[in-house]
Amino acid sequence: MPPSEFMRLALEEAALALGHASPNPAVGAVLVRDGEIVGRGHTQPPGAAHAEVMALRDAGERARGATAYVTLEPCGHQGRTPPCTRALVDAMVGRVVYAIEDPDPLVRGVGHRQLVEAGIAVEVGDGAEESGRLLEGYLKHRRTGMPFVIAKFAASLDGHIAAASGDSRWVSGPETAAWMHRQRATLDAIVVGSRTVLVDDPQLTARPESATAATHQPLRVVVDSSGRIPASARVLPPPPATLVATTEASAEEWRAAVRRAGAEVLTLPAHDGHVDLDALLGVLGGRGVLTALFEGGGTLLGSLFDARLVDRVQAVIAPLIIGAAEAPSAVSGRGAYRMADAPRLHAVTVERFGDDTMISGLPVWPDTD
């Protein structure tokens, strides 16, 4: 069942908090009284007000007797800010409708119980599917301590991400580029391999059409197992922050040069000669990264798939044929020996960006339910 009109507006509010709110969840709230919206708000950066409090401030005295539509169970514990349940009770709202339960052990069920004990009517489930999709990074992080991993690539119709020369500018079109920059502003980290830096020298910043000084910038992560990227790479100088993940195979002199350029260097264990990606994700999760976007290249994405670390695939297919046998493919690695071993996507969605087509879905591995 699709969300109600007012929960849909709360979800729109929640989307405004993506990236800015982490490691807190991106939540939206709308207050409705006599069929009229009297307040709305979304989660502010860590240490500032949550969505419910922002909506209550917006409503003022009109919050009394109103219905609060919230995209996640209101928190009932004292953290860096007071409990949202207390604010809702003090404002004398008459009813709370929230989309999904918060999996955080400090919150799960507590907020619901406190509201009921205060005599407030509570309903659960309106907009549950949509809120779960918007909060997929937060939900996985609270359940596992690890970031939600998105594997994204732009490829030709025949599966290549660059020409035989390595030239990859541009596989996809300008509409895809605009979407990509909008998406980056909602993410906590963006990860690329050393070859991508060597070939494209990207900045890895979010530059949407409406960019301002307040535009959220994700943590930039470069996976460079042996110390290949130059200290002059554009991805290194802050801001925003950059983390270079390497192994003991890289030279200490190179690490020092990368640090002088402004990046943090993290030396991690190696797996099959490359940075152990499970260890990298553990570090990112420990730093509060909820959603990490891996943009390739093929070696990095291949390692992710081989380790079954991918939670969502975003494949942008451009209407061109490259055809060269030596042209790099979107995903390398060991891969599937048989078709039965290949993961298939479910919950698939399809979007168009100009002439490009983006296919997104959740991979299901063959021996899992």
Q: Which residues are catalytic?
A: 52
Alpha carbons 309 and 368: distance in angstroms, whole number: 14
DSSP letters, 192-208, are EEHHHHHHH--------
Q: Residue 214 class from Cβ within 10 Å (0-12 exposed, 13-18 middle, 19+ buried)? A: exposed
**DSSP 8-class letter at 11:** H
What's the token pair of residue 121?
């009517």
Alpha carbons 165 and 156: distance in angstroms, whole number: 15
CB atoms within 10 A of CB 303: 24
Compute CA 21 distance to the chain's CA centroid, rounded to the nearest angstrom: 12
Q: Give me the torsion for CA of 263, 268, 271, 273, rounded to 10°.
A: 50
User: Can you point out the beta strands (E) in 135-278?
Assistant: 148-155, 189-193, 219-223, 242-246, 264-267, 270-271, 274-275
Q: How far apart are the first and last CA of the chain?
A: 25
